Structure 1
Amino acid sequence: MRINGPNGTTLGSPTANTRRTNSSGFALPDATPSAEVRPAVAPKAAANIDALLAMQGIEDPVERRKRSVQRGKGALDVLDDLKIGLLSGNLNASTVSRLRDAAANLKSTSGDPGLDAVLSEIELRVEVELAKAGQF
């Protein structure tokens, strides 16, 4: 749509001032093959997959210590639940089951000798309580 003048559109031929040329101003360079042609190559594998898996398996000592502390706290919480259940006379089988699970989780080491000593004492107490309950 073309709008000319103040009154809107006008029908007619283009103005004489418009100059048309046959050249577009854009031209592609002559199609000459490039001197260097590279064959398609498959992408390279990202190093050795075994090395990547090994890197993922490396634990941060701080994280390992935090997880060990959480396992110890969890075991102590279950021991407290057992104590409350024994004192109230309502010992649940689920508490003994949780105690067994806590004992299994305490077997791993944290890498810190002091923490490992405390965790082994907690593990011993858990095993004693399981033996008292006749579940060990």
Structure 2
Amino acid sequence: MIRIGGPTSGSGVQKRSGTKGTSKSGSSFAPASGAETERSGVSGGVSSAYGVDALLALQEVEDPLTGKRKNAARRGHDLLDALEEMKADLLAGLIPEGRLDRILQLVQTRFPSGDPQLEAVIDEIDLRARVELAKLGRFPD
């Protein structure tokens, strides 16, 4: 059987005896040349601040495609939210006319993103929304 006990005074770091900074031989560390070295001045402090400013400036520059992707993704999310609300309305038994108008408007407005993968996903969302509208007799142009 193994017994686990708490911390004991016998384990851990032991204290050094003697005065601080001296050794038994009486010698201490000294530079090989024996002369004091000059302290160097601050170097590079100013240039590093410019580097950070340049990085922050680059982060603020928006890629023209990023804005298009954001708009297309936002439209896709809005369309998915509207379809989810439509599903809840179908379960309740009544779909408000305003909800159908909103979905129809979202289907008719398209923002090209320039990203083929994002476009493929949005095409699938559009198709699903068009099918749901067609089931309810609202055929988009």
Q: Distance in 2 between matches of 1:122 and 1:109?
A: 14
Match of 1:110 in 2: 113
Q: Distance in 2 between matches of 1:67 and 1:108?
A: 7
Match of 2:133 in 1: 130
Instruction: Say whether 1:73 aligns with 2:85.
Output: no
Runs of 4 or more above 3 Å deviation: none
- Identity of aligned pairs, percent? 39
Alignment-mate amino acid for residue 120 of structure 2: A
Match of 1:89 in 2: 93
Structure 1 unaligned segments of length 5 or more: list them.
Answer: 1-58
When the two chains are superposed, the root-mean-square deviation of aligned CA atoms in Å is 1.2
Q: Which has the higher contact order (CA 8 A, sep 6+)?
A: 2
Q: Distance in 2 between matches of 1:71 and 1:65?
A: 10
Equivalent residues of 2:80, 2:125 under 8 A apart: yes
Aligned length: 77
**Max Rg structure:** 1
| Partner SS state of residue 98, structure 1 | helix
Note the alpha carbon deviations across 1:74-104, whole angstroms, 9 max, x for none. 0000001100000011210011001101101
Structure-2-length-normalised TM-score: 0.53
Alignment-mate amino acid for residue 116 of structure 2: P
Alignment-mate amino acid for residue 98 of structure 2: S
Q: Distance in 2 between matches of 1:126 and 1:93?
A: 15
Equivalent residues of 2:68, 2:111 under 8 A apart: no
Q: Distance in 2 between matches of 1:102 and 1:81?
A: 14
